[in-house]
């Protein structure tokens, strides 16, 4: 479980997060939703120790994020931020191979190579493995970054808007892959999604944020309701059902 208590965060005088206490359940897919500027990415980045903690406490599977050595955390959780421009000229296979770094610190073994091949395969990147990052499309590069986080082989996977640049079929494939990780291997995933229907279709647990506060959290069915969403986005929103899951409609 990821436990967040009394988390506050300021950027240049502006209060981005106000006293947040919440948790991401283990073995579930947790989606962070909310309008622009709600603080979703900031929250995820703080959990992933990409930004230093100012106030409050976060533990990931019992590891206090501010005190546990970063190399140890890297074997517990993998986080993929939004900033994926890389100056080095790398092949896709090389990038994905970096995902194994926390386990071998520069001396990869046969096991590591197998995991990399597996990750490339899982994201349909094997045919592109020898291409350079700047020679593939934005969506392919995005998949390579996700594959790197995947290769890190951690119990927790945190993804900040991983669906950026992905077309519908690859977005769907990614969500299905994450679902599979959770259901068959007992891993846990937290992600920020913009397109709310991906949360509606795949998430177990939803945290809805607005203006740096949590508006609602709980089972997807309980949070993705007309009342909560209309309030969250300040717009009339209808929620239907499709194959037993909520379906969010904005042309209400």
Q: Which residues bind another protein (CB under 8 A)?
A: 48-50, 70-75, 78-81, 83, 85-90, 94-95, 98-99, 101-102, 105-107, 145, 148-149, 152
Q: Are 163 and 171 in contact (CB under 8 A)?
A: yes
Nearest to another protein of 65, 200 (CB atom): 65
- Residue 94, C-beta contacts closer than 8 angstroms, at least 6 positions apart: none
Number of helices (H), then strands (E), in the chain: 10, 12
Q: How far is the CB of 177 from another protein (least distance, A)?
A: 19
* Distance from C-alpha of 27 to C-alpha of 136, rounded to nearest angstrom: 33
Nearest to another protein of 157, 206 (CB atom): 157
Secondary structure letter of residue 98 according to DSSP: G
- Residue 127, C-beta contacts closer than 8 angstroms, at least 6 positions apart: none
Nearest to another protein of 65, 224 (CB atom): 65
Q: How far is the CB of 182 from another protein (least distance, A)?
A: 20
Q: How far is the CB of 102 from another protein (least distance, A)?
A: 4
* Distance from C-alpha of 177 to C-alpha of 161, rounded to nearest angstrom: 16
Q: How far is the CB of 248 from another protein (least distance, A)?
A: 30
Nearest to another protein of 87, 168 (CB atom): 87
Tokens matching residue 108: 């990869």
Q: How far is the CB of 95 from another protein (least distance, A)?
A: 8
What is the number of residues in the chain?
252
Q: How far is the CB of 88 from another protein (least distance, A)?
A: 4
Nearest to another protein of 174, 208 (CB atom): 174
Tokens matching residue 194: 């913009």
Answer positive or negative: Cα dihedral of 53, 75, 44, 225: negative
Nearest to another protein of 159, 232 (CB atom): 159
């Amino acid at each position: 479980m990821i436990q967040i208590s009394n988390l506050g965060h300021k950027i240049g005088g502006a209060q981005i997060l106000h006293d947040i206490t919440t948790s991401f359940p283990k073995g579930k897919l947790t989606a962070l939703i909310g309008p622009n500027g709600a603080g979703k990415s900031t929250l995820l980045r703080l959990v992933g120790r990409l930004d230093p903690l100012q106030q409050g406490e976060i533990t990931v599977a019992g590891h206090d994020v501010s005190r546990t050595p970063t190399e140890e955390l890297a074997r517990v959780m993998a986080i993929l931020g939004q900033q994926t421009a890389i100056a080095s000229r790398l092949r896709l296979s090389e990038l994905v191979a970096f995902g194994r770094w926390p386990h071998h610190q520069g001396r990869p073994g046969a096991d590591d190579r197998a995991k990399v091949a597996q990750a490339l395969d899982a994201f349909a990147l094997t045919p592109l493995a020898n291409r350079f990052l700047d020679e593939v499309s934005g969506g392919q590069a995005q998949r390579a970054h996700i594959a790197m986080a995947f290769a890190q082989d951690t119990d927790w996977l945190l993804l900040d808007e991983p669906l950026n640049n992905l077309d519908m079929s690859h977005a769907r494939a990614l969500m299905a892959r994450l679902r599979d990780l959770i259901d068959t291997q007992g891993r846990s995933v937290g992600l920020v999604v913009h397109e709310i229907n991906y949360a509606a279709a795949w998430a177990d647990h939803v945290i809805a944020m607005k203006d740096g506060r949590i508006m609602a959290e709980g089972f997807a069915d309980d949070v993705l309701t007309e009342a909560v969403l209309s309030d969250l986005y300040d717009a009339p929103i209808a929620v239907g059902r499709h194959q037993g899951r909520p379906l969010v409609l904005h042309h209400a």
